[in-house]
Structure 1
Amino acid sequence: MSLTANDWLKKIRELPLPEKIKVINVCGGHERAITTAGLRSALPEAIELIPGPGCPVCICPEEDIYMAIQLALHESVILVAFGDMLRVPVNVAKGEIRSLQQAKAAGADIRPIASPLEALHIAQHHPDQAVVFFAAGFETTMAPVAALLVQGIPENLSILLSGRLTWPAVDMLLRTGQATFDGVIAPGHVATVMGAEEWTFIVEKYGLPAAVAGFTPVSLLAALYSVLRQHVEGRLFLDNCYPELVSAHGNKTAHTHLHHVFTVTAAMWRGIGIIADSGFSLREARYDARWRFPDCATNASNRKRAGEMPAGCDCARVVLGQIYPDGCRLYGTACTPRSPVGPCMVSDEGACRIWWSVGIRSTAPTAQPAEITPELSIGRE
C-alpha cells in the first residue's frame, strides 16, 4: 500500500533531527507546490525548506531581455517569447521602455507563445518578415527548442537564446562555500530530461544527501524524508523519489538533440555573475539572432548597469537561497506582482511571486545584502 502525505509527515516527525537542518528545493515548480500545499507549516520547526535557483525567468540575463526589447522596437521583426518574459523589467532610465510588455504597448510586434512550435508556425505564416524567438529556459525548455532546430526552421526565423542548465548553480554554491543548506531536493522535470544521475555530484563530490522529487506533496515529502534520514544516519546516496517519470539517464533522444544543436559554455546569471558550464550556445551561427543583429547585441551589453538587478532588489540572494522572499527590502512594498521591480516577482516559478500569491507578507526582518561572489572559472572541476 502506497504511503500518503500524512504517513510521510509522521515518518519525518519520528526522525531524531538536529536542532536545525536546511534543505534546498532547486526547482521553482517544487517551491510552488510546497508553498501552495502549506508544507512548511506542517513540518517540524527544525526543518527549513529553502527556495533555490530553479526559475529561468529570474536568472535570465538582463542584457538578453534588453536586446529583445530593442529588436522589437527598432528592427522590422516579429518577436515571440514565452509569456512570463514579457513582464520582466530591465535597467533603463526613468521614462524609457523597461519591458517587452511596454514595448508591445508602444507598437512593437511582440507575441507571447507557450510552445516552440508556435514560433515555427508564426514564421511560416509570415515568410517575408524576420521572426525572432526569444528562447529562455532550463533544460526542459531547451530540449523542445533543440528538437525544433533538428527538424529544420525557415530562413526567416532566428533564435535569441538564453538557455541555462540547473546543476551548475548548485555546484557553484557548494564549490565557493556560499551554500547555506545541508541537503538537496533535485528538480523532477529537469531530471526527466537529463536523468537522475546528473545530481550524483552532490553526494559524491560534496558529501550531502540528495533526492529527486516530483510535484505532489507525497513525492516531495518522500524526497524530504530521504534527505533527512540520510543526514541523520550518515548513509548518503542519490534517491529517486519520482520513478514514474525519472530514470537514471533521462531521455536519450533529448540528449541527442541537445548535443547536436547546442554547446555548453560559461554563462551569465542575472545579478549573480558568470557560472561555469551553465549555458547553452547555438552551434550554427545562422540560427543566432545575435549574429543576424550584431549591433543590438553589442548595445545590450555595453550599457551602464547592464546585467544587474534593479536598485534595492535582492532577487539574486533569493535565487541563491541566502534569504527568503520576505527578507528582500522591496518585497510587498515597491515590488508586487502588479508592479514588479525584480524578476522573482514576475514568474509563477519565482519564489517572491509564489509567496505573495498565497498571502505571505512581511514576516522576516529586512536583510542587508551580502556579497555574492560570481563564478568566473570555466570548466567543471
Structure 2
Amino acid sequence: MPGQAQDWLTRIRELPLAAPLRIMNVCGGHERSISMAGLRTLLPPEIRLIPGPGCPVCVCPEEDIHQAIDWAMHQDVIVASFGDMLRVPANVARGEVRSLAEARAAGASVHAIASPQDALRIARENPQRKLVFHAVGFETTMAPIAAMIVEGLPPNLLLLNSGRLTWPAVAMLLESPDAGEEAGLDALIAPGHVATVMGPAEWDFVPTRHGIPTAIAGFTAESLLAAIHSVLEQSRTGQAALENCYGAAVRAGGNPLARRLLDTAFSVVDAPWRGIGTIARSGYALKDEFAAHDARLHLPATAGGRKAGEMPAGCDCARVVLGRISPTGCRLYGSACRPASPVGPCMVSDEGACRIWWASGVRAPSAG
C-alpha cells in the first residue's frame, strides 16, 4: 500500500471510535477497490463497509432484459449491449432462453460492445437492418450515449433505454419506512465518477437533510481511506457535512458539457429498479425530438410471460444492492449462484457486490 494510504490508515486507527459505524460505499467501482485491496481486513473492527446501489447492471429492469431477448429471437434486428448485460438472466420458465448470451447461442444476432461508439459502428455497417442498442448505465455511461444521440444517429439505430440516476436510490433508501435497523447507515461514501459528471452538490441532501456524514472518494486506496477518515471524524465531532476527497477530478458544477448533453437528450422520469420497485425521478427517457430512435415505439412490445421487477426464486440480490445484507448473506451465494452459473445479476456484473466478493476470495459468511 502506498505511503500516503498507510498514513490515512494510521490516522483512522488512532481515532477514538465509541461505537460501530456503518459506512455505505455507493459505487461498484469503490466496492471493487475496497475488496481487492483488502481494506475491510485492515480497518478497525468497529467500521463496517456496506456495498450500496452502485451497479446499473444489477438494477436493470427484468422486463427490459426480457424485451431485448424477445426482439433478438423474434425480430429481424441486431441487439447490442455492454458485455456484462449479455449474461444477466431474465426470470423465465425453465427451458426458455434466459439471457442475451443464450439468445446468441440460439442463433440470434447479439453483439457485446465496450462503448456506445461500437453500437454506432455496427449500425453503420448494417444499414439495411435495425440495431437495438440496450443502453444500461448510470450518469457516467449515459453522458457519452447522450453525446452520440445529440450528434445524430443513423436511422436504423434504436435505443432500448435502461439508464438510471444514482442519487435517487440513496434518497429512497434513507427515506424509506424501514430505513432504521435493517437499512440503517451512519455515513456515506459518494461515487467519484458520478460526481465528476454531475458535481458534488447533488449529494448535499445526505448531510443536510439526514445528518449523515458524507465524503466523495476516488478509486485509489488513498482516496477511499481519506474519505473514510473524513466521515469518521465528522461522526466523532457530530458535524455532518459533504467533503470532496477526489479533488483531482470532482469540481463544483461537475462537467458542464456532459450535463448539457444529458439534459438535451433525456428527460428524467420515474423508473423501475429490478427487485426494488419504482424510484421517483431516477430514470432517463429519450426526449420526444428523438422518438424516431426509441425502440419501444418502433418494435412490438412483448405481451406477458415475464415477472416484471422480480429476481429469480431465492435470489437476494435486491437486498444486497440496498445494503440490507452482505453478499454472503444471500441464500444462494456460493452454492447455486457462482460466476460461472449466476442466478442473479449481482454475481454477473464486475460492479456487482457478489461478483466482486467472490473474485476477491470471499467464500464464507462475513460480518463485513
Structure 1 stretches of 4+ moved >6 Å = none
- Take 2:160 and 2:98, find their aligned partners in 1: how far apart are those partners? 18
Aligned to 2:109: 109
Aligned to 1:157: 157
2:293 equivalent to 1:291: no
2:330 equivalent to 1:328: yes
1:128-167 equivalences in 2 (<5 Å):
128-167=128-167
2:17 equivalent to 1:17: yes
Counterpart residue type for residue 86 of structure 1: L
2:134 counterpart SS class: strand
- Take 2:144 and 2:18, find their aligned partners in 1: how far apart are those partners? 43
2:26 equivalent to 1:26: yes
Aligned to 1:84: 84
Aligned to 1:42: 42
CA apart distance, 1:235: 1.6
Aligned to 1:198: 202
Counterpart residue type for residue 269 of structure 1: W
1:35-74 equivalences in 2 (<5 Å):
35-74=35-74
Aligned to 1:377: none
Counterpart residue type for residue 230 of structure 1: Q
Normalising by structure 2, report the TM-score. Answer: 0.96
Query: Could you list the per-position Cα deviations for residues 83-126 of structure 1 after superposition, in whole angstroms to 9, with x for gaps in the alignment?
Result: 00000001111111000000000000000101111111111111
Counterpart residue type for residue 100 of structure 2: L
Query: Could you list the per-position Cα deviations for residues 341-370 of structure 1 after superposition, in whole angstroms to 9, with x for gaps in the alignment?
Result: 0000001110000001111012259xxxxx
Aligned to 1:378: none
- Take 1:205 and 1:125, find their aligned partners in 2: how far apart are those partners? 51
- Take 1:120 and 1:243, find their aligned partners in 2: how far apart are those partners? 34
- Take 2:210 and 2:292, find their aligned partners in 1: how far apart are those partners? 41
- Take 2:7 and 2:159, find their aligned partners in 1: how far apart are those partners? 47
Counterpart residue type for residue 280 of structure 1: Y
Aligned to 2:320: 318
Aligned to 1:269: 273
Aligned to 1:240: 244
- Take 1:146 and 1:3, find their aligned partners in 2: how far apart are those partners? 40
2:79 counterpart SS class: strand
1:122 counterpart SS class: helix
CA apart distance, 1:23: 0.3
- Take 2:305 and 2:124, find their aligned partners in 1: how far apart are those partners? 35
CA apart distance, 1:19: 2.1
CA apart distance, 1:237: 1.4
2:112 counterpart SS class: strand
CA apart distance, 1:71: 0.7
Query: Could you list the per-position Cα deviations for residues 239-270 of structure 1 after superposition, in whole angstroms to 9, with x for gaps in the alignment?
Result: 00001011121000011110011000110000
- Take 2:13 and 2:149, find their aligned partners in 1: how far apart are those partners? 49
Structure 1 vs Structure 2 CA RMSD: 1.2
- Take 1:218 and 1:5, find their aligned partners in 2: how far apart are those partners? 4
Aligned to 1:350: 352
Aligned to 1:370: none
Counterpart residue type for residue 241 of structure 2: F
CA apart distance, 1:14: 1.1
Contact 2:87-2:101 at 8 Å conserved across structures: yes
- Take 2:240 and 2:275, find their aligned partners in 1: how far apart are those partners? 33
- Take 2:252 and 2:103, find their aligned partners in 1: how far apart are those partners? 44
2:263 equivalent to 1:259: yes
Normalising by structure 1, report the TM-score. Answer: 0.93
CA apart distance, 1:294: 3.5
CA apart distance, 1:286: 1.4
Contact 1:331-1:362 at 8 Å conserved across structures: no
Contact 1:327-1:362 at 8 Å conserved across structures: no
* 1:183 corresponds to which of 166, 183, 187: 187
- Take 1:147 and 1:329, find their aligned partners in 2: how far apart are those partners? 41
Contact 1:81-1:135 at 8 Å conserved across structures: yes
Greater shift, 109-118 or 304-313, is seen at: 304-313
Counterpart residue type for residue 324 of structure 1: S
Counterpart residue type for residue 350 of structure 1: G
2:308 counterpart SS class: coil
CA apart distance, 1:180: 1.6
CA apart distance, 1:304: 4.8
Counterpart residue type for residue 247 of structure 2: P
- Take 1:85 and 1:13, find their aligned partners in 2: how far apart are those partners? 40
- Take 2:308 and 2:53, find their aligned partners in 1: how far apart are those partners? 21
Runs (5+) with no aligned partner, structure 1: 366-381
- Take 2:254 and 2:300, find their aligned partners in 1: how far apart are those partners? 36
CA apart distance, 1:303: 3.2
1:90-101 equivalences in 2 (<5 Å):
90-101=90-101
Counterpart residue type for residue 301 of structure 2: D
Counterpart residue type for residue 363 of structure 1: P
Aligned to 2:307: 305
- Take 2:130 and 2:239, find their aligned partners in 1: how far apart are those partners? 56
Counterpart residue type for residue 361 of structure 1: R
- Take 1:290 and 1:64, find their aligned partners in 2: how far apart are those partners? 10
